[in-house]
Structure 1
Amino acid sequence: MRASHADRERAIDVLKAGFSEGRLGQAEYEQRLTRATHAQTYAELSVLIADLPQGPVPMPPAPQQSGYQPVPRTFLPAPPPRTNGTAIGALVCGILTPVYGLTAIPAVVLGHVAKAQIRRTGEEGSGFATAGLVLGWLAIGVALAGILAVVFAAA
């Protein structure tokens, strides 16, 4: 598979770390750096950094299968951000409000708590929290309007 500019930059970062830790001499570092900047494929890059640690804990080599070369951790994408569970709870309570009615209050409370957690942690789910808030406040408004209508109709 062809390597991108970002892949080459990650390999160069691994080489820089190896040189600064004393794992590579000046001449070998410069030679590998030149080869890394001209590398076209993952295979070319992995050969250059295979003998260097690529993270805080060196990984033991995986058992080799015929034709199989594992992708180094350096080139794997980051895991997707997690969705906030409280935001999901706010949305569920908001959706259940027309059926049960009393879930409007938990929808509003959970929505506000989820918004604060999302701002603090950077998780996903802001839309879920907003939807829960809107549905909860809408149900509370409809309930209050109904109560006022009954009170004024009785008077």
Structure 2
Amino acid sequence: MAVQPWRGAPQPWEQWQPVPSPQAAMRAAHADRERTVDVLKAAYAEGRLGSDEYGQRVDSAYRALTYGELAQLVSDLPSGPMVLPMGGAAPMMPVMPVVPMVPPTFAPPPRPAPTNHLAVASLVLGLFGFLPFGIASVPAVVFGHVAKSQIRGSGEQGDGMATAGAVLGWLGVAFWAMILLLVVAG
């Protein structure tokens, strides 16, 4: 690189020659230049660049036409050459898969845990426990207790339904036991 009389000796970042790649020759967009300036701002704020060098690099960033020129400006900074186009790998860096970061606001809502089927069955049988002969009350109690133990182990939903089914089942058993006692005593 030739010495430019108005600038003095070549700067360290100007002497670095990037690894030739197809991405280095691609034309840079304004957003790419802004990303490079952001890296330079961070380096200046951290004290890695002096004010003169920062000003020169920012001017060079706004004049840069290709990704290679932008990468050259930040190659000696900790953030490294961040200005390669999407999918391009930085020189001498392992290629990492690009995982887009989605803010939680725009992410799909989490799927709720499934509801325990025995809890649903317990609630339904508990509601039918007051029908004649209360035949559904005993299974409602059994299903309610089994569902509660399964829910504790699996993290499923339906704890309230299992409790309500068991309570209704016990009330149904008590109701029919009282009816039976009144019939026998009467």
Give the TM-score, by structure 2 length. Answer: 0.44
Match of 1:122 among 145, 155, 158: 155
Match of 1:135 among 168, 176, 182: 168
TM-superposed deviation, 1:81: 1.7
The alignment status of 1:52 with 2:98, answered yes or no, reads yes
The size of the alignment, in residue pairs, is 95
| Distance in 2 between residues matched to 1:136 and 1:53, nearest whole Å | 51
In structure 1, the partner of 2:119 is 87
Match of 2:79 among 27, 48, 55: 27
Residues 83 and 28 of structure 1, relative CA distance in 2, 3 Å threshold: farther
The residue type paired with residue 123 of structure 1 is: E
Q: How large is the RMSD of aligned CA atoms in angstroms?
A: 3.2
Residues 28 and 78 of structure 1, relative CA distance in 2, 3 Å threshold: farther
Match of 1:144 among 160, 177, 181: 177
- When Rg is computed on C-alpha atoms for both structures, the one with the higher figure is 2
| Distance in 2 between residues matched to 1:79 and 1:72, nearest whole Å | 17
In structure 1, the partner of 2:135 is 102
More helix by share: 1
Give the TM-score, by structure 1 length. Answer: 0.52
| Distance in 2 between residues matched to 1:113 and 1:142, nearest whole Å | 22
The residue type paired with residue 119 of structure 1 is: R
In structure 1, stretches of 5+ residues that fail to align are 1-25, 33-50, 55-70
Moved over 4 A (4+): 71-74
Percent identical pairs in the alignment equals 42
TM-superposed deviation, 1:28: 4.6
TM-superposed deviation, 1:146: 1.5
| Distance in 2 between residues matched to 1:28 and 1:76, nearest whole Å | 33
